[in-house]
Amino acid sequence: MTSHPGRPYLIRVGNQLLSLERPVVMGIINVTPDSFYDGGRYDTAEMARLKAGQMLADGASMIDVGACSTRPGSPPVDQETEKERLKPVLHNIRKSYPEAVISVDTFRSSIASWVVKEFDVQIINDVSGGRLDPDMFRTIGRLKVPYVLMHMQGTPNSMQNNPVYQDIVGDISVFFYERLSELRSYGVSDIILDPGFGFGKTIDHNYELLSRLDEFAMFDMPLLVGMSRKSMIYKVLNNSPESALNGTSVLNTVALLHGASILRVHDVKQAVEAINLVQKLKMSYGFSV
């Protein structure tokens, strides 16, 4: 397999163009009490604001804020709870960092409309790929914002109940083809693909997916990879999410060598360092795998 040294991807975020020719980092801020790693850490608007500032200082190109946990087995919170959690956090981050690129992790079209209108959110990150809200694609077409199309088998509540694939890359590719066709019918053009590590996949599925990540280059679209501190790391290493930073850096490096454009992580500084080192290897010596 040959790695892809970088494609001239551009996405429009607000009034600017963001280049993904060089991979970038998306920092995760979960404002939930029950996320698998950082649940409860940023449950006040001030704590979330400070974390966002640190991530931006460490080199994050975008901040992804989520208020509805999607850890395996988790039931969704209701819309009003999601809204109440997001409102003070987005207000504080936007006020303190007006130029920041903010993404919101939600599967609800009503939340997407609200955060774009009220807080100038520039990206919607939907773990369901539009399957949990039939109005999501139409809404994204109207909002004209970039959309992260993620693959998930099942729902967060059921996704780890014996996930099965005929061919994991082939099955996900079929999903992407079908959803992309519908997105484009609504005029959506800025699309980021996320194969959904850990979302309806066994540990073996995740590692096969990582080893074949470069096959998604056929879509000629930026690829987001989110493996940060997940069970595919800490269960193999027999440790915990809190001890999985080194493993995350290792697998992020592999993802970069196989064409990842965006690393979605809890630990921005280490991800930026991985990008810098891989870019040096690729640009100076044409390294491929």
Q: What are the residue numbers of the active site?
A: 230, 264
The rounded distance, in Å, linking the Cα atoms of 208 and 270 is 24
**Strand 62-66 versus strand 102-105 pairing type:** parallel
The rounded distance, in Å, linking the Cα atoms of 103 and 121 is 6
Helix pair angle (109-119, 136-143), 10° resolution: 20
Question: Which residues contact residue 259 at a Cβ distance below 8 angstroms, ignoring those fewer than 6 apart?
Answer: 3, 4, 213, 214, 216, 217, 223
